[in-house]
Chain A
């Protein structure tokens, strides 16, 4: 573990921000280009994870453990969100026999 944490010492904070923003924008693109509701959910998970990683990086950078506690709360929230969201998707599938989100445009008008 000592050697592993020694490895990190030369990486600038900018590279962490860059990595996390790239993963976050991949998640945004995934939400926009897919019509399958489950894949859209997975893209949202991707965005949540990139934010978690960035919070941890800043927490290590500042030497403040509060950021890691916050990540713990975000993980609990994501678990709750996925449980409710997937239940909604199952219900939609039962009613419309499809998980294409373009079928669900009745709320539009």
Chain B
């Protein structure tokens, strides 16, 4: 039980560090840690398939993509744009109001039920694969088209246009 609270504290701590770190490279490294704690949350809920997918896709693919882009862009601390303190204060107040609204609406729940894992093989690959390829076969195929179009779009956008340069 205390494992959850410890990991929850770590994920909140690292996500605050993500948005406050001065150097963008440090932000990305803290984001890796946030994703790692979220993977641990998945394992705690016995969602093993999602834990593995989160580990490979987010920590493997997406974060490496971020790091590569940052290296291509070649940022340093001096070129990091800064906002005025007034705008920052307004942003924090706005986000805090959003958080308070959600917490206040949670009051309607009163004492909530604990999260119980009734079926121990709920998040296993076998069970999820059966559901994915029976009920959600069409969305699965459509998402392959989405990935293909994203790949084509990324290549088209990132290559240099000879006419404009």
Contacts and interface: CB of A to CB of B under 8 A. Distances in A.
When A and B form their complex, which 7 residue pairs have the shortest distance between CB atoms, in order from nearest? A32-B91, A30-B19, A80-B150, A29-B95, A87-B157, A100-B81, A25-B99
Contacts of B132: 69, 72
B96 A25 contact: yes
B99 A21 contact: yes
Contacts, number: 253
The secondary-structure label for the interface of chain A is helix
Interface residues of B, number: 89
A93 to B, nearest CB: 5
Interface in A26-51: 26-30, 32-36, 38-39, 41-43, 45-46, 49
A18 B103 contact: yes
Interface of B: 1, 3-4, 8, 11-12, 15-16, 18-19, 24, 27-28, 31, 34-35, 38, 41-47, 49-50, 53-54, 57-58, 61-62, 65-66, 69-70, 72-73, 75, 79-83, 87-88, 90-92, 94-96, 98-99, 102-103, 106, 109, 111-120, 122-123, 127-128, 131-132, 135-136, 139, 143, 146-147, 149-151, 153-155, 157-158, 160
Nearest to A49: B38
A79 B88 CA distance: 29
Interface of A: 1, 4-5, 7-19, 21-23, 25-30, 32-36, 38-39, 41-43, 45-46, 49, 52-53, 56-57, 59-61, 63, 65-66, 68-69, 71-73, 75-84, 86-91, 93-94, 98-100, 102
